[in-house]
Amino acid sequence: MEWNENRPLTWEDFRGKPSFSSAYKASTNSGISIGWSLSESGNKVVLVGYDVKANFYPDISWKKDNIVKKDFILAHEQLHFDISELHARKLRKALAEYEGGRNVQKELTAIYRKYEQERSNMQNAFDAESDHSRIEQEELKWRDFVQKELEKYNAYAQ
């Protein structure tokens, strides 16, 4: 499922099998996908197009039935998806500014890996600082931060 600001996640989107051994009430699996097209121009390979998406994976995202504060937890899971979209926007910006080099495919792969690593690090920091939504004040700080960052990169939204 592709990120869409007009289509937030619902609990019905979480169709994976819950991990009952997990202490968590829900789990969002999201990430960034990328495709690009290259062309030869003279003796040089150039980037002619790209497609970057933030995706949510319903079949491996799950929820438990006994969730208290359902709306608050769903907002936490949405923020994980929003963090993926933020990094998709950052990646789109980097690709829009990319001028090419000696080994285009290797360089593009390195750019993708950089933003994917940053995305993963931010996801982990979000969960650590909010204690997986248990520290409400931190959760609210993160919501504000991610919203401002999304707005900052709004020119790179799809």
Q: What is the mean pLDDT of residues 137-145?
A: 98
Q: How confident is the model at residue 41 (pLDDT cuts 50, 70, 90)?
A: confident
Task: Give the integer Cα–Cα distance in Å for 83 and 120.
Answer: 9
Q: What are phi and psi of 98, to 5 degrees?
A: -65, 130
d(CA 62, CA 85): 20
Classify residue 3 by burial, with Cβ atoms within 10 Å: 0-12, 13-18, 19+.
buried
Show the DSSP H helices in 1-135 as ranges: 70-97, 104-130
pLDDT digits (tens, 9 = 90+) for 61-119: 999 998 888 999 999 999 999 999 999 999 999 999 998 878 899 999 999 999 999 99
| Amino acid code (one letter) for 98 | Y
pTM of the predicted model as reported, rounded to 2 decimal places: 0.95
Only one residue has tokens 């933020």, namely 86
Predicted local distance difference test score (pLDDT) of residue 40: 86
- Which residues, including other chains, have CB under 8 Å from residue 78's CB and lie 6 or more apart? 8, 9, 28
Tell me the two tokens of residue 23.
Answer: 């202490």
